[in-house]
Amino acid sequence: MMFLSLRHLLARKKQSFLILLGITIGTAAYVSISGMMLGFQNFILEQLVNNEAHIRVSAREELLTKDSLKAFPGVMHVFWSLPPSGRKDSSKIEYPMGWFAMLDQDQEVAAYSPQVVSQVIFTQSKVTRTGRIIGSQFERQMKVTNIENYMKIGSFRDLGNSGNRLIIGSKLMEQLGTRLSETLLISTGNTAPQPFKIVGVFETGIKGIDETTAFSSLVDAQKLRGRPSEITDIAIKLFNPNEAQIKAEAWKLSSTDKILPWQESSASILSVFKTQDIVRNSMTIAIIIVAGFGIYNILSILVNQKKRDIAILRSMGFSPSDIIKLFFNQGILLGILGGIVGLFIGNIICHIMGQIEVVPGRMSGPGNKMIISFDYIIYIKAFSIAVLSAIFSSIIPARQAGKLEPMEIIRSGGQ
């Protein structure tokens, strides 16, 4: 019946073209909008995943509850020499050696970096700024995050393993009014200020980080804090970032330390993505529904117009299923053709959008161009939506045509 379906379509070129246009626009819209949004999302995700640890283990944060007193079994009243604050946090990871031993063994862990993170006051002559200093071993830190990519001046290696060297965020350096190779004082508040020499500058593009953060070697940060050999954080990189949540849940069972996978630390951004996806999908669905109704309408009218043809075909021995195919094929052909053309047009639009220059900053990719995703999944989805909508919208009129009895058509005079 494909022959006759084709002839039907070609006999009504204008109508067929208009329907085709609807499906094509729907498919192209899905491809280009998804390309743009997913391109942006993937870029942000990549940054989230690679700039920070996949999983961050940090010192325990725990509220004091009724259950906390069960540490004193059989005791009715507990008196404190110094009343507790309602929390029993820890300021360090209790047993880092255990963590290291486990992480070294774990096949899914790509790298880890022990850190000392402390809140500090940066002082340069009369200017002071609060912020945080992250002490780490540079080889390990470079394996866990891609900080090296954000180095504006110098290399992250310049930190060395000791010697009070500092790599500072670009905005923080600006605010302190200092520059490379100058020395500034850093204090944790509890200990005497110590001088650090700036050996490098980084810029991630994220204001909150560039304005507050500086890196030092692990040893120097421990000395600054006055507690050598303690660490406060372990940044962990996995081979597969998507496993982070599952991994974190598993570790939580055997540790009282705080364990945070990146999905949780960037939950707010991920929820924005979800909203974006809803908008993107509902827009496309709306377009496709319109195109689907187009197919449905045209085919319903066609079936009505072609009742005589149906009668004559049936009298020649064509079966009801042949008649169904006659009309169903037309819908499917429009769906497939519209889908393919839509994919091409969508792809072209994506390429054009990829050339648009945007304001330099976090949202722009290499060369300050807009980032577009060309993920093949988008194209598979777009095509399936086009074909599925064509199937759904042509099945009803086609089945109606199949149910028509030739005698009824002839008796009613063919109209």
Partner 1 sequence: MIKTHNLTKIFPRSTVPALKEINLEIQDGEFVSLVGRSGSGKSTLLYLLSTLDTPSEGDVFYDDINVKMIPQEEIFKLRNKKIGFVFQFHYLLQELTAIENVLLPARKAKELSQRRELSLRLLDEVGLKGFENRYPSELSGGEQQRVAIARALIMEPTYLFADEPTGNLDSQNGQMIIDLFDKINREKGTTIIYVTHDKEFAARARRQISLADGALL
Residues at the interface with partner 1 (CB under 8 A)? 3-4, 7-8, 10-11, 308-309, 311-319, 322, 406-407, 410, 414
Residue closer to partner 1 by CB (options 110, 410) is 410
Minimum CB–partner distance for residue 415 and partner 1 (Å): 10
Q: Which of 117, 332, 136 is nearest to 218 (CA)?
A: 136
Instruction: Tell me the two tokens of residue 138.
Output: 């540079």
Of 271 and 315, nearer to partner 1 (C-beta) is 315
- For partner 1, give the closer residue by CB, 11 or 359: 11
Residue 86 burial (CB < 10 Å; 0-12/13-18/19+)? exposed
The total of other beta-carbon atoms located within 10 Å of residue 53's CB is: 26
Smallest gap from Cβ 279 to partner 1, in A, equals 43
CB of 330 to partner 1, least distance (A): 12
Residue 316 CB, nearest approach to partner 1 (Å): 5
Are 162 and 220 within 8 A, CB to CB?
yes
Strands 213-217 and 127-136: parallel
CB of 398 to partner 1, least distance (A): 17
Nearer to partner 1, 82 or 316 (CB): 316
CB of 323 to partner 1, least distance (A): 11
CB closer to partner 1 out of 12 and 258 = 12
Phi, psi dihedral angles at 194 (to 5 degrees): -125, 145
Strands (E), 228-355: 233-238, 258-261
Report the distance separating Cα 156 and Cα 167, nearest Å.
Answer: 7
Smallest distance from the beta carbon of 304 to partner 1, in angstroms? 15
Nearer to partner 1 by C-beta: 74 or 317? 317
Give me Rg for the CA atoms of the chain.
Answer: 33
Contacts 24+ apart (CB under 8 A), 149-156: 150/51, 150/202, 150/203, 150/204, 150/205, 151/200, 151/201, 151/202, 152/201, 152/202, 152/203, 153/180, 153/200, 153/201, 154/180, 154/199, 154/200, 154/201, 155/200, 156/200, 156/202, 156/215
Cβ proximity to partner 1, 29 vs 333, nearer residue:
333
Can you count the helices (H) and strands (E) in the chain?
14, 10
Beta-carbon count within 10 A of 238 CB: 23
Going by C-beta distance under 8 Å and a sequence separation of 6 or more, which residues neighbour residue 402?
320, 321, 323, 324
The minimum distance between CB 407 and partner 1, in angstroms, equals 5
Distance in Å, CB of 290 to partner 1, minimum: 27
Identify which of residues 176 and 310 has a Cβ nearer to partner 1 in the complex.
310
**Is 3 or 376 the residue whose CB approaches partner 1 more closely?**
3
How many CA atoms are closer than 13 Å to the CA of 29, on its beta-carbon side? 19
